[in-house]
Amino acid sequence: MSASAIEQQKTAYIEKLRCELGQDIAHLLTDPNVIEIMVNPDGVLWIDTLSHGLVDTGTRLASTQIALVIGTVAAYYDRVVTAEAPRLQAELPLGGERFQGLRPPICAPSFVIRKHLPRVFSMAELLHQGTVTEEQAGILLAGIRNDQNILIAGATLSGKTVLLDTLLSEMPRLHGEQLRAVIIEDTLELHAALKNHVTLRATEHDSMRVLVQTAMRLRPDRLILGEVRGAEALEMLKSWATGHGGSACTIHAGSPARALKRLMAAVQEAGVPGDPELIGEVVDLIVLMKRRESSQWGIEEIVACEGWAQGRYHLTRLYAEHTKNWLIRWPAHTGGHPPSHSQTSSGS
């Protein structure tokens, strides 16, 4: 098939997808108040909003309609969802939103669409907004300046990716625009506001672990993993220990200590014993993120990891959040200038 024919086919898939999603979801995709769209196996359409959190829209989609949406997204990427391969993880062709689809035998057809921030927020913007304190920013920027490896932990929708994007944008400012980063993700979410970078996307045939190994041949100054979940953790730690300091990743965990335990469990998925000494040696800072209200994400805690000795990690708390200063509010504002303080501060 010629390049023009492929392009025409993809355009047709996009138009087909618009029709299958329907006007309700099309509107939600453009609504800045909506950050996640969920269609459950029973067909009920739920959304996560900045104003009210989770909301049942009252809309119900037919199972056949849901299945068509999943099938069209798969076809756009020249993939097929079957009973043998019932899961689809991809970017929505309409705008690059994260898409997760499921079909039988796992469950009745269902999908989730997670929207991204429209742009990267610099640390200066967050300070200007009053949503990051001088203390928080100072610790994080010093970590970047001193080539410390940063582990950003938190639950789903806690602001981990937002913060990682901000730290990425600060790296060339502090180390020069020539700084080269290799970024590895299983779903493309990071904006990667660097001039000199390569983004690698994992596939069914090229795992995150394989891509970390590949990245080492791409001359990275910094190795960034959008999220570490499994065996790729071993390769990441090995690379961090061999001259690639100043790197970062996110991990799902509810505390700094649990983040380190989760990281060791991920290493064990590579079929090797966990190595807490290596983890304690290469992880320098752990930042714990938390979503407190529907539109507020905050830095809960910043901890320095000072190694492993006598059967435990030596952790020093550098910052603990007991005030109402929040990292970021996901604003409707998408312009090129910072919104005013009144638009973004958490208030009383």
pLDDT in tens, 177-209: 999 999 999 988 898 889 999 999 998 889 999
Residues 161-182, mean pLDDT to the nearest whole number: 94
Give the predicted TM-score (pTM) of the model: 0.81
Rounded to the nearest integer, the mean pLDDT of the chain is 88
CA–CA dist 188, 98 (Å, integer): 7
**Region at 311 (left for phi over 0; alpha for psi -120 to 50; beta for the rest):** left
Is the pLDDT score of 347 beyond 70?
no
Please, which contacts does 53-56 make with residues 24 or more away whose CB atoms are closer than 8 Å? 53/294
Digit-coded pLDDT (tens) for 95-117 = 889 999 999 999 999 999 999 87
In the chain, the number of structural domains is 2
Examine the domain organization and report whether 207 and 276 are in the same domain: yes
Same domain, 89 and 170: no
d(CA 279, CA 236): 10
Residues 216 and 333 both lie in one domain: yes
Helix axes 63-76, 3-30, angle to 10 degrees: 140
Percent of the chain with pLDDT over 90: 70
d(CA 182, CA 176): 16
Q: Are residues 241 and 339 both part of a single domain?
A: yes
Domain carrying residue 14: 3-114
CB 181 within 8 A of CB 194: yes
Looking at residue 255, which CATH number applies to its domain? 3.40.50.300
Do 73 and 131 belong together in one domain? Answer: no
Highest mean pLDDT among 113-127, 133-147, 294-308: 133-147
CB 254 within 8 A of CB 266: no
For residues 322 and 283, membership in a common domain is answered with yes
Same domain, 151 and 298: yes
Mean pLDDT of 220-225: 96
Average pLDDT estimate for 11-31: 95
Q: How many CB atoms lie within 10 A of CB 17?
A: 20
Distant-in-sequence, close-in-space partners of 86: CB < 8 Å, separation ≥ 6: 102, 103, 104, 105, 106
pLDDT tens per residue, range 311-324:
999 999 998 765 44
CATH (domain of 10): 3.30.450.370
- Same-domain status, 128 and 229: yes
Residue where a domain stops, chosen among 114, 146, 163: 114
CA distance 148 to 283: 8
Residues ≥6 apart with Cβ < 8 Å to 282: 149, 237, 240, 241
Q: Which residues contact 137 (CB under 8 A, 6 or more apart)?
A: 123, 126, 127
Q: Are residues 90 and 156 in the same domain?
A: no
Shared domain for 163 and 84, answered yes or no, is no
Q: Which residues pair with 150 in a beta bridge?
A: 248, 285
Domain boundary among 48, 83, 114: 114
Q: Do 172 and 294 fall within a single domain?
A: yes
The whole-number pLDDT of residue 254 equals 93
Domain boundary among 114, 142, 162: 114
Residue pair 119/47 in contact (Cβ under 8 Å)? The answer is no
Q: Could you tell me if 82 and 146 lie in one domain?
A: no
